[in-house]
Structure 1
Amino acid sequence: MQQVQVCIVGGGCVGLALALGLAKNNISVMVLDAGPEPQPLSEDYGARVSAISLASQSLFESLGVWDAIKAQRATAYRKMSVCDADSFGRIQFNAQQLALPELGHIIENDAIRFALYQALQQHSQASLLFGSRYQSIHQTDSDVLITLEQGTPVMAKLLVAADGANSGVRSQFNLPISFWDYDHHAIVATIKTEQPHDATARQVFLPNGPLALLPLSDPHTQSIVWSTAPEHARELMAMDEQSFNKALSAASDLQCGLCTVQGERAVFPLTMRYAQQWLTGKVVLMGDAAHTIHPLAGLGMNLGLKDAAHLINALSEDNEEFASHSTLREYERTRKLDAQKHIAMMQGLKELFSGSHPLKKLVRGVGLNVVDNLGPIKDLFVQQAIGE
């Protein structure tokens, strides 16, 4: 039988960040993931990228992996431009005017995973089991017994479910979840643009949903996340490349000139999920297993990393009894409150920027311009964007 203090099911960015933080604090940890081990970046850009806030950057710095992540095609964005295609509204942020080196970084998810994986391999306190599944999970008042598919038993003081939106651990323990369909599908792809992106993250609110253009390391290459109505997404995915390029260039209002898609397009439905209960005994949820959110503000990864940072601090300071009930309940209460706030905010923004009702158009146009011209309110938006 193997014994560890924490077993993490799920070796994504959030699960690996938690594992590294615990290992660095001399807490024994095992990561269990059914997929293959993380690999170095390929020559082509990955389709899944994240806008990493300055707060998440601080976590990676404390874990000692930021330099390794930054070296893997991480792209600093120093400007943000948000506009409503259906009105006169626009808001812009500039890092230089805010006395910041940058507003954040656009990073391929695979780059984050690989840097964390490499760092974890150097820690004797960390065991990494990729390509491995659990057969069963049973818990007592003080321990969790995880039996691996090959029959090996693992005893842990705490099991953390970081196994994604369709969490098997969450389902096994019947933790209730609220969800609703955003009635959006997201198309993701890598594109080339006629004009350089100028280290600017752009968001265009269209009647059917937002289009984000995120700068990558090549000045003429960007990643897109185009959230739109399901039927429109199906039309876009059915288009040949030339027709899609025309539709994308028009939707972006030619802010960087003509757009040309590179490689494959992918599409996935967008659903809000929120676990009503994050804790049962010695099993706790985090990341997408606990909450998923609309990508229009790029908050999903950052919210999961905040879960990890909170749990690292809580468990590292739990001196009297490791993973005590009071510690886990405080983690659940604090992180649920933050997730609720962001879910509500995203739903409000989605509703406000959807549709072409004349009154909505007026509110959007006036609202964005007012925010852009009022320093104190704009500062609040900046603080949200950089994760403070």
Structure 2
Amino acid sequence: MVSTNYDIIVVGAGIVGTSIAAHLSQTLAPHTRIALVAPAAQPAIDPEPFDPRVVALTDASRQLLEQLGVWRSVAEQRACPYRDMHVWDGEGAGHIEFSAHDLGRDTLGHIVEHRVLNQALERALELTAVERWQQPVSALLRQPDGSINGVELSTSETLQAPLIIAADGARSPLRKMAAIDERQWSYQQSAIVATVRSQAPHGLVARQRFMNTGPLALLPLIDTPQASDGHHCSIVWSADQAFADSLMALDDTEFCQALERHFERRLGTIEHVSTRHAFTLHQRHATRYAQPGLALVGDAAHSIHPLAGQGVNLGLLDVACLTRELQRAQERGLSTGEYATLRRYERQRMGHNLTMMAAMEGFKRLFGSRQPGLTLLRNRALSSVNTLPALKNLLAQQAMGLSL
């Protein structure tokens, strides 16, 4: 059996997996051997000009991507800044508006397509010394004391390291192999994503309407950094399952008409919709983020409702935190798999992630309620906060990751 030794093995090559592999390679001491275990990304073959899946990157996430040296590449391809955010209750008159100007900033964040971000991260990874293995993991290796010290690949080759980082997604095989429990439930909803062209320009404003069937967001896109007519948006329509199924069954013309009605024609006529995709929604949270020799990051540790677009941002905060703790451990001469180091990471990120997940669950239940009393209360609360600049700006800073 062939065995190769590393200092760190990262499993999973989505946005979070490639980010942490590249960040560790750049941050830790020279000659730190890092392996990334995941199939290489295949070139996208998509007739649509825009990727229907996008992420609303916070300023904290953008700063991390700048450290990785990939933000310039992302911005040169396609990253749409949004300067304002309008949120309103579709069952009443409550509303709140956030502005970058009020915070003394140029933007509240950027809307970036998954495809653009993945390609930039893959190119950055090629410039590092990270070694790539494309075979799937079939088992975790353990020492006699039970601590994890490597992985076995489907080819029976083994890779050994003091630390394995699981960045292999919401259904994380590594989390299951490590017998780490998770709490999960279905929202009984699906998120419909697509790109639309509207009659009125979006004006670099992110808009979201809350309805008792689920939230509907239209997020601004640009065609190129050099020229854009400002009429394209990415939609994320989270809807109760039966309603989502009925929306997916509509033809394009009928869907555009339904979108117009439910968005209260805020952007006029919806002139075109790309191919639609639907994803069932679940909330998952691992009961532990760490075991001796193992750390979970991103969706392998937590996945939440997309109503605030925080999933990838939480994963990138995991990346920043774990990298920082591993750098400190290395400076003290400790092993990369030191359990005390991984526990510090777990304590820092679990508390923050649970708070964010609880907040999103609260929003989902509050705006999904059909009780007249709650409808009146949430409308008054939204409009009241909109008149309190200090509180409103604090909420905006939290959402942007600026106070973390």
The residue that corresponds to 2:43 in the other structure is 39
Within 2, Cα distance between the matches of 1:362 and 1:209? 17
Q: Which amino acid aligns with 2:315?
A: G
Deviation sequence 1:249-291 (CA, Å, 0-9, x none): 1111111111144331111111110100121220111100100
The residue that corresponds to 2:140 in the other structure is 137
SS of equivalent to 1:97: helix
The residue that corresponds to 1:77 in the other structure is 82
The residue that corresponds to 2:188 in the other structure is 183
Within 2, Cα distance between the matches of 1:328 and 1:322? 11
Name the TM-score, length of structure 1 as normaliser. Answer: 0.96
How much does 1:38 deviate? 5.0
The residue that corresponds to 2:401 in the other structure is 387
**1:264–1:254 distance in 2 versus 1, CA, 3 Å:** same
Is 1:28 the equivalent of 2:33? Answer: yes
**Larger deviation, residues 138-147 vs 267-276:** 138-147
The residue that corresponds to 2:316 in the other structure is 305
Match of 1:284 among 283, 290, 295: 295
SS of equivalent to 1:317: helix
How much does 1:345 deviate? 0.3
**Which runs of no fewer than 5 residues in structure 2 stay unpaired?**
224-229
Within 2, Cα distance between the matches of 1:209 and 1:155? 46
The residue that corresponds to 1:192 in the other structure is 197
Q: Which amino acid aligns with 2:41?
A: E
Within 1, Cα distance between the matches of 2:272 and 2:176? 38
The residue that corresponds to 1:258 in the other structure is 269
Within 2, Cα distance between the matches of 1:190 and 1:144? 44
Q: Which amino acid aligns with 1:382?
A: A
Q: Which amino acid aligns with 1:189?
A: A
**Which runs of no fewer than 5 residues in structure 1 stay unpaired?**
none
Q: Which amino acid aligns with 1:310?
A: C
How much does 1:201 deviate? 0.5
Is 1:335 the equivalent of 2:338? Answer: no
How much does 1:355 deviate? 3.1
SS of equivalent to 1:339: helix
How much does 1:369 deviate? 0.9
The residue that corresponds to 1:317 in the other structure is 328
The residue that corresponds to 2:227 in the other structure is none
Within 2, Cα distance between the matches of 1:127 and 1:217? 35
Q: Which amino acid aligns with 1:4?
A: Y
SS of equivalent to 1:209: coil
Is 1:53 the equivalent of 2:85? Answer: no
Deviation sequence 1:12-63 (CA, Å, 0-9, x none): 00011101111002332111114x4253796621111100000101111111
Say if 1:75 and 1:105, in contact at 8 Å, map to a contact too. Answer: yes
Match of 1:371 among 368, 385, 389: 385
Match of 1:233 among 212, 225, 244: 244
Say if 1:185 and 1:270, in contact at 8 Å, map to a contact too. Answer: yes
Within 1, Cα distance between the matches of 2:174 and 2:18? 17
Match of 1:350 among 350, 364, 370: 364
SS of equivalent to 2:63: helix
Within 1, Cα distance between the matches of 2:307 and 2:359? 11
Residue identity over aligned pairs, in percent, reads: 37
How much does 1:129 deviate? 2.8
Q: Which amino acid aligns with 2:132?
A: L
Say if 2:95 and 2:383, in contact at 8 Å, map to a contact too. Answer: yes
How many residues of Structure 1 are paired with residues of Structure 2 in the alignment? 385
**Larger deviation, residues 293-302 vs 183-192:** 183-192
How much does 1:150 deviate? 2.2
Deviation sequence 1:67-91 (CA, Å, 0-9, x none): 0111121100011000111111111
Within 1, Cα distance between the matches of 2:91 and 2:274? 30
> How well do the aligned residues superpose, as a CA RMSD in angstroms?
1.5
Within 1, Cα distance between the matches of 2:353 and 2:367? 21
Match of 1:210 among 180, 205, 215: 215
SS of equivalent to 1:321: coil
Is 1:87 the equivalent of 2:92? Answer: yes
Name the TM-score, length of structure 2 as normaliser. Answer: 0.92
The residue that corresponds to 1:149 in the other structure is 154
SS of equivalent to 2:346: helix
